Homo-oligomer: A and B are copies of this chain.
Amino acid sequence: MSVVEQAQRARTAAAALAVATRADKDAALHAMADALVARTSEILAANGADLAAGRDEGLSTAILDRLALDAGRVADIADALRQMAALPDPTGEVVRGSTLPNGLQLRQIRVPFGVVGIIYEARPNVTVDAAGICLKSGNAVLLRGSSSAARSNVALVSVLRDAVAGTGLPADSVQLLDATTRDSVKELMRARGLVDVLIPRGGAALIRTVVEEATVPVIETGVGNCHVYVDAAADVSKAVAIALNAKTQRLSTCNTAESLLVHTAVADAVLPPALAAFAAAGVTVHGCPQVARHSTAVLPATDEDYATEYLSADISVAVVESLDAAVAHIQRYGTGHTEAIVTDSQSAAREFVARVDAAAVMVNASTRFTDGGEFGFGAEIGISTQKLHARGPMGLPELTSTKYVVTGDGQLR
């Protein structure tokens, strides 16, 4: 079946989902969870075949790790669906309402987008997560996973579709696109009028391609060259702890800090313990000359270092002359994801928050907190780094649009 045909089926499914009640949708989520657990052996067999093929192709241990499922992981994935069922339904919410001077009653109501396309890499849990969050928000979903997880995704989506259909909602609420050809990505990107929004989740190259080529509206996610700026008025031990946590709590996430900026006034106090902490954690420091003075282990930082989202045990470190210089550095190299300041100065915090242009600005907290789960949203489809529609962690409301409903008794203009 072509992507266009799948998208047309998704539109039909979306029309049914748009009028489904919360009870209908939650029942489907529970059925999906139960079916995943009941059919675990089928899923693990498919996953085993993906893993074997991946080993033959020489995929890295890290990728194989992310790909691997076991009964425990399947149970966790199922539990995530049950937790989604417990979240409030974003659709139907009255966002704004008033009675106009002529008596017209105006309401702006949250409605599903309709059809959501998601392009993502490796991890099979994303398949189920994305299917669940889209269904809960009343959207049909077209999933384009990676070829390395193709068999796992076929098995998972087969289980999910059967479960959805068993509760009376359309099986085509969840569809998987062919992962063995790039054509399916291209067709999905150009399915304007059939697909309402496309969310690419993956590396910078994937996101750039989608942004360049898509005619469907896109929500850009993920690239995070995040900074921690230690201000002149920072508490030194808090600053070191935040920088270390932001860099090392998990290396491969988009909210991981990739760069540390230290105000010159506290450089001598902050850099020695910070460099020692990084060394102890196995983090390589790429620093400016003022940083290198403090340790022979510091490699010289290039412009490229400052621009790089390492996603590895590396960090760039620079001494800056002022808050102004820190903001300028962040404007130049940042990707608008998460930027943190460590300071006890109210005025410095206020200025940093006002001037830094990013999805999230942290004051005296780790960049790692930019996350739908941490923010209390319950479910997250990705972290938007664009300004249109959604910015920052996207939960259920971010997967909806709105509709104005205007009720009168014959009003004319």
Contacts and interface: CB of A to CB of B under 8 A. Distances in A.
Interface stretch (A98-106, A141-149, A179-187): A98-106
B361 A404 contact: yes
Nearest to A237: B410
A128 B172 CA distance: 48
A363 B408 contact: yes
A114 B365 contact: no
Interface string A173-200: 0000000000000000000100011000
B408 A365 contact: yes
Interface string A394-413: 00000001111111111111
Interface string A263-299: 0000000000000000000000000000000000000
Nearest to A105: B363
A368 B218 CA distance: 31
Contacts of A374: 100, 413
A407 B355 contact: no
Contacts of A100: 374-376
A222 to B, nearest CB: 16
Interface stretch (A36-44, A162-170, A311-319, A382-390): A382-390
A158 interface: no
A13 to B, nearest CB: 13
Interface residues of A, number: 68
B215 A411 contact: no
Contacts of A401: 387-388, 391
Contacts of A197: 387-388
A333 interface: no
A27 interface: no
Contacts of A212: 215
Nearest to A387: B401
A211 to B, nearest CB: 6
A368 B406 CA distance: 11
Given A366-B411, A403-B361, A114 B387 contact: yes
Interface in A335-351: 349
Q: Is the interface of A mostly helix, strand, loop or mixed?
A: mixed
A130 interface: no
B217 A410 contact: no
A46 interface: no
Contacts of A364: 407-411
Interface in A76-109: 98, 100-101, 104, 106, 108
Contact of A361 (B219, B249, B354, B405): B405
Interface in A205-231: 211-212, 215, 217-219
A370 interface: yes
- Among A98, A215, A387, chain B packs the most CB atoms within 10 A around the CB of A387
A19 B327 CA distance: 14
A402 B386 CA distance: 10
**Shortest 9 CB-CB contacts between residues of A and residues of B:** A365-B408, A387-B401, A389-B389, A245-B412, A238-B410, A360-B404, A368-B413, A217-B388, A365-B411
14 contacts: A15-B331, A15-B355, A98-B376, A100-B374, A111-B357, A192-B211, A217-B388, A358-B403, A361-B404, A364-B408, A364-B411, A365-B408, A391-B404, A392-B402
